[in-house]
Amino acid sequence: MNENDLQILVEQISLKNFHRPFSHKVKINKRMRTTGGRYFLQDHHIEVNEHFLDEKYHEDLIGIIKHELTHYHLHLAGKGYRHRDADFKNLLKQVGGSRYTPDIGLRRRPKIKYLYQCQDCHLLYPRVRRIDTRRYRCGKCHGPLNLIEKSY
């Protein structure tokens, strides 16, 4: 799906569910990781996460578009367009939009670089940062820690 197809889809959803036209631009954002879309208050355009354009996420994409269109139409109407506003919650429920972006595995997870093990009870401590083994000890038995594995 390209931007033209997405533009047509958003305009159709706007007319069908909100009974109002969407007369601004829709853009695809390739850098988004944690959000499905964004509505911009200044120029009223909407950005959509590129990863949701895949066919297997079509239902999620529809929910995201409805969510952003809820922001759009309420903001232009001068009503409460923020997530905490009752107008927003009611209209979102009415049109069946998604309240939260579904997690499709794009969020960054810290990479474990160091693995420490207690000498006494053999409990493992995966860590992102290096620790001073002369200063820190096991939280369970207070035994000394050894660096087992270091990866980059």
User: Beta partners for 137?
Assistant: 144
Phi, psi of 117, deg, nearest 5: -135, 140
Residues with a known catalytic role: 68
- Beta-bridge mates of residue 29: 49
Which distant-in-sequence residues (6+ apart) come within 8 Å of 127 by Cβ?
112, 113, 114, 115, 116
Contact 90, 79 (CB under 8 A): no
Number of CB atoms found within 10 A of residue 88's CB: 21
Nearest one of 25, 50, 54, 24 to 37, comparing CA atoms: 50
Helix (H) or strand (E) holding 89: helix 86-95
